[in-house]
Amino acid sequence: MNSNLPKTIFITGATSGFGKATAKLFNEKGWQTIITGRRADRLEELAEELGQNSLPLSFDVSDRQSVQTAVKNLPPNFNKISVLCNNAGLALGLEGADNANLDDWDQMIDTNIKGLVYATRTILPLMIDNGEGHIINLGSVAGSYPYPGGNVYGGTKAFVSQFSLNLRADLVGKGINVTSLEPGLAETEFSIVRFKGDREKASQVYKNTKVIKPEDIAETIFWVSTRPKNININRIEIMAG
Ligand code: NDP
Ligand code: 8X3
């Protein structure tokens, strides 16, 4: 492979928060970005800002067929993926387990677990063919430290952490790195989504806290992606200061 060609990062959930900041930073650094998410209008707007090195693909990551179709139809100049950033995810609700909404639980499992697994399983063979790659999965401190109402969200993120280590076990010697990045409180649209559009309630979550910024996570993803290949960063936990 010609090492002068720009590298490509495939980012799930690039319409907001960490994913959007990551797309902007990698674009600035000269990478090609494949930006994905359900909201096509936001993707088009971001793609316009990023320019010709960016490819917007709108699909729901929890829909297996859509993930496979999107990857199968990648144009040849975008199908050598150096980094897959499995970032799309969400928390819904903060009710205790006896009151929580089962549809919310389904959606978190479908997105945070199944979506991440679909993207990984679909893109991994391309990385194996290229003999290099890096999968960076967005876990959370909620996967290690339980809190009331975290129930299924925390469970999905514990899956991400353990799945990352198991992927690593399968990929040793194949030139593919795997990292689980596990942040704490960061101000994005995360809480607005969790509280179903209640911005006032969402803003209370970050009151009097020095929160993590999306740009902090983007910089960490860039740092992880640019380490020498003789090391693998297994797991990074970042909490608000
Ligand atoms: P945002 O709500 O700002 O962004 C979430 C992104 O995920 C959006 O781009 C959204 O795109 C995408 N997404 C959600 N569901 C789907 C779906 N079914 N298909 C495709 N894309 C989807 O939140 P954050 O940036 O904070 O969250 C990013 C990741 O980081 C998540 O996995 C979250 O769990 C994790 N995280 C967040 C923390 C925080 O405090 N903010 C801390 C630790 C981890 P669209 O709606 O357009 O589909
Ligand atoms: C998001 C961080 O602490 O709100 O994963 O669950 S937390």
The predicted-structure confidence for 44-81, as pLDDT tens digits, reads as follows 999 999 999 999 999 999 999 999 999 999 999 999 99
The predicted-structure confidence for 162-195, as pLDDT tens digits, reads as follows 999 999 999 999 999 999 999 999 999 999 999 9
What is the distance in A from the centroid of ligand 1 to the CA of 188?
9
Token duo for residue 69: 């179709």
Question: For residues 38 and 13, is the Cβ–Cβ distance under 8 A?
Answer: no
Q: Which atom of ligand 2 is nearest to the CA of 184?
A: 2
Torsion, CA 213, CA 25, CA 139, CA 130, rounded to 10: -170
Q: How far apart are CA 234 and CA 154, in angstroms?
A: 19
Q: How far apart are CA 225 and CA 212, in angstroms?
A: 20
Candidate list 118, 147, 153, 206, residue with the active-site label: 153
Ligand 2 site residues, Cβ closer than 6 angstroms: 140-142, 150, 184-185
pLDDT of residue 5: 79
Give Cα 33 distance to the centre of its chain: 13
pLDDT of residue 3: 56
pLDDT of residue 198: 98
- Residues 122-140, buried b or exposed e (16+ Cβ, 10 A)? bbbebbeeeebbbbbbbbb
pLDDT of residue 194: 98
3-state secondary structure of 121: helix
Question: For residues 53 and 65, is the Cβ–Cβ distance under 8 A?
Answer: no
Q: How far apart are CA 151 and CA 100, in angstroms?
A: 9
The predicted model scores a pTM of 0.98
pLDDT of residue 1: 46
Q: Is 17 exposed, middle or buried (0-12, 13-18, 19+ CB in 10 A)?
A: buried
Ligand 1 site residues, Cβ closer than 6 angstroms: 12-19, 37-39, 60-62, 87-90, 111, 115, 138, 140, 183, 185-186, 188-190, 193
153 noted as active-site residue: yes
Extract the residue ranges of the chain whose pLDDT is less than 70. 1-4
Q: For atom 31 of ligand 1, which residue has the closest CA?
A: 89
Q: Which atom of ligand 1 is nearest to the CA of 18?
A: 25
Residue 16 CA: distances (Å) to CA of 92, 164, 193: 16, 23, 11
| Nearest ligand to the CA atom of 145 | 2
Q: How far apart are CA 37 and CA 90, in angstroms?
A: 12
